[in-house]
A and B are shown apart, each in its own frame.
Chain A
Amino acid sequence: MSNPLRAALVGLLWLPALSYAGPLRDDVLELLNGYEDAPTATDFAKLGDGVSAELMEIADDHGVASSRRSRAISALQHYPQPTVRGFLESHLDQADKGILRRKAAMALGAGFGAEAVPKLTGALDDDDTLVRVAVVQALGMTQAPEAREVLEARLENEQVESVRTAIAKALEAK
C-alpha cells in the first residue's frame, strides 16, 4: 500500500476524534512553534479540554510542517487515554514519515509506561534503523521491569551498532 493511501486510511480511522478539533488549533500550534523550547504538560493543560483532539488533527495535517506534526505526536504523551494510545500505536505502524513513527514510539513509552511494552517490543524488528533506535529509547522511557528484559534479549541479536548503543544507554539509565 502506498504511503499516502495508508495515511488517508489512518486519518479515516480517527475521524470521530477529529470532530472535536477546531477552536484551540491556533493556540496549540503556537505552542509547537518554539525554536528550542519543548512545550510541557503544564503548557497544554492551561489551554483546557480538547487539546488531545487538536494534537491528533495537527499530527495528520499534511499542510503543517513535519517538525510541528512530530511535536504534536510527542505532546500526546501527556494524554494517556485509550483513544490516544490507539492513535499512537497506529502511527507507530504506518505514519507517512519515519520521524512521525519515531515520535509515536517515544510518546507511547513516555506516556503509557508498561502498557506500551508489548506494542513497542513488536516494533523492535522494524526495518528502519532510526525507528528501532526510537523504540529502544521508548522502552527505556517506560521504566517498566519487563522492558529491561526485552532490551537485554534484543542486545544479543541486534546487529546495527547505533541500535546496540541505544540499548546499552537505555539499560544503563534504568
Chain B
Amino acid sequence: MSLSARTLAACSLWIPAMLFACSGDDEPVDPCDGETDWSVVVGADEEELQREDLGNVNLSDTGGYVDLTVDVPSGAVSTAVHCGFDEDALGAVWALTDPDGTVVYDGQAAFDGDFDAYAYRSDFTDARSTALIPISKDVPLASGSWDVQFFLGAGNGGKASCEAVHRIDEAGTEATVFVNLVFVGPEGLDACGASTDDGFQSALEQFESEWASAGLTPVYNYLDFQGDKGKYGVIEIDEGDYSEFNDLLRTAAPANARTVTFFFVEEIVDLASGGTTVLGLSAGPPGVPATNGTSKSGLVISAVDFDSAPTDIGKIMAHEGGHFLGLFHTTEKDGSRHDILGDTPECPPSADANDGGSLSVSECAGKGGENAMFWTLTEGKATFSNDQGWVLRRNPAVD
C-alpha cells in the first residue's frame, strides 16, 4: 500500500493516533476534524490495478451487441470488464469464452430459462453491465485472451464506453475493504455524528461481524454528501426507471477509487408498488468495482431503521455489499432460482410450508435461511459460505 500525501498530512494532525494509524498503511481521517468530502478518501493500493480502455462502440452499428477481446495479464486474481452508456436500456453480459476457447457462459440459456447451464450468471439490469471474473470457483480467471460479449439493448443509437480493470495481487483468507460511508440522509445523520453515534456504530458492528465470516475487514471513510440532498435524500424508482438511483451512484468520486461506496439515504421508494420502502439497492450485481462516476459505482442503503433497528442496517449493508462485490441471492423469493456457487445451501420451492408462494427464513432453516445473501433479512447474525468469501476476497475493490 502506498502512503499518500494526504495521509501524511492527516497523520501530522493526528499525533495521538500516529502510533497506530501511520505505521505504513493509509488510515482515514477523523470526520469530526476536517474535510469530509471525496478528497479525503483513502483506499487500497491502486497500483495493484491495471486499467485498460477498451474504447467506444456505436450500438446502432452492432444491433446492440458489443464484442471485446480482453487480455488478462499474468498474476491477475480478478478482472472486471464493464461496458455501457447513459441512456435508458437493459444490458447484460451475453457470452464469455475463456483463453482455451471454452464457452463458459451463453446468455441465451438463461434467457430460455435454463439457469443451471453455466457456472456464470449475468442478469439484465441497466445500460451498463459488468463482466466480473471470477464470481464462482467453477469459472476461474485464467490469464490470456478472453472474448466478452455484451448485449446492451437493440434499437438504440447509444455509444457504449468500455473498460477493463485487472487486479494484480494475491488473495488470501483475509482481506481489507475500504468502505466510503456517504451520508445523504436522513436529516440529522452526518459523517461526524455517525462516527460516534451508538446506534450507527452498532449497525457497523453487525456489518463487520457478518463480513468477518467471509474474511473481510472494512475500514471506513466517513463522508458528507456534497450534492443535492433535496434531490437524492429520497431515491425514487419506478417501473424499471432507476435513473435517480443510477444518477446518485454516478456522483461517486472518491480520491482513491479502490473503495466501495455506500450511500445512506432517508429512504428508497418503489413508486410502482404504491410507495413501498426498499431496504437497500446495489448496482449490479455485480457493481463496477474500483471505478468512479458510473451508474454502477456503489450501492444505496435506506436509513429508515437507523433509530429503530440499527442492526438491521448492518445486515442490509452486508447483503448489498455482497451484491456489489459479485454475489447473488442464494435462493430467490419463490425458490425457482439459486446462485451459481457450489457450497451455498439451496432452499427449494417444496419448502414453502404455508403455500404462500414465497420462501421465508423459517421455512428455509438449514437450507440457506441463515445466509447473508438469502433474499430476506435473517434472524441474528447471518453468515457467508466459504465459496462466497472466496469470491468476495478476489474482487478488484478488495485488498
Contacts and interface: CB of A to CB of B under 8 A. Distances in A.
B240 to A, nearest CB: 14
Contacts of B356: 27, 31, 43, 46-47
Interface in B232-290: 233-234, 266-267, 270-271, 273-281
Interface string A40-75: 101100110000000000000010111100110011
A72 B377 CA distance: 16
A119 to B, nearest CB: 16
Contact of A30 (B276, B316, B360): B360
A37 interface: yes
A133 interface: yes
Given A111-B274, A161-B230, A65 B357 contact: no
B343 interface: no
Contacts of A161: 230
Interface string A79-121: 0000000000000000000010011011101110000000000
A111 B276 CA distance: 13
Interface in B91-130: none
Nearest to A66: B308
Nearest to B360: A30
Which of A43, A67, A70 is most buried by chain B, counting CB atoms within 10 A of its CB? A67
Given A66-B305, A66-B308, A133 B375 contact: no
Interface in B321-361: 333, 354-358, 360-361
B361 A30 contact: yes
Contacts of B357: 42-43, 46
A74 B375 contact: no
B304 interface: yes
A35 B280 contact: yes
B333 A37 contact: yes
A65 B305 CA distance: 6
A36 to B, nearest CB: 6
B302 interface: yes
A36 B276 contact: no
Interface in B361-393: 361-362, 375-377
Contacts of A103: 275, 277
Contacts of A39: 276, 358
A71 B270 CA distance: 11
A36 B271 contact: no
Interface in A102-145: 102-103, 105-107, 109-111, 130, 133-134, 137-138, 141
A33 B376 contact: yes
Contacts of B309: 65-67
A34 B277 contact: no
A130 B276 CA distance: 15
A26 B275 contact: no
Query: Which has the most chain A C-beta neighbours within 10 Å: B270, B277, B376?
Result: B277
B376 A27 contact: no
B87 interface: no
Given A66-B307, A66-B309, A71 B355 contact: no
B271 A137 contact: yes
Contacts of B45: none
Contacts of A62: 308
Q: Name the 8 nearest CB pairs between A and B, nearest first.
A: A106-B275, A110-B274, A65-B309, A38-B276, A30-B360, A38-B273, A33-B376, A67-B304
24 contacts: A27-B356, A30-B360, A30-B361, A33-B360, A33-B361, A33-B377, A34-B333, A35-B280, A36-B280, A42-B357, A46-B355, A46-B356, A65-B308, A66-B304, A66-B305, A66-B307, A67-B304, A70-B277, A71-B276, A71-B277, A99-B267, A133-B234, A138-B275, A141-B275
Interface of A: 26-27, 30-31, 33-40, 42-43, 46-47, 62, 64-67, 70-71, 74-75, 77, 99, 102-103, 105-107, 109-111, 130, 133-134, 137-138, 141, 161-162
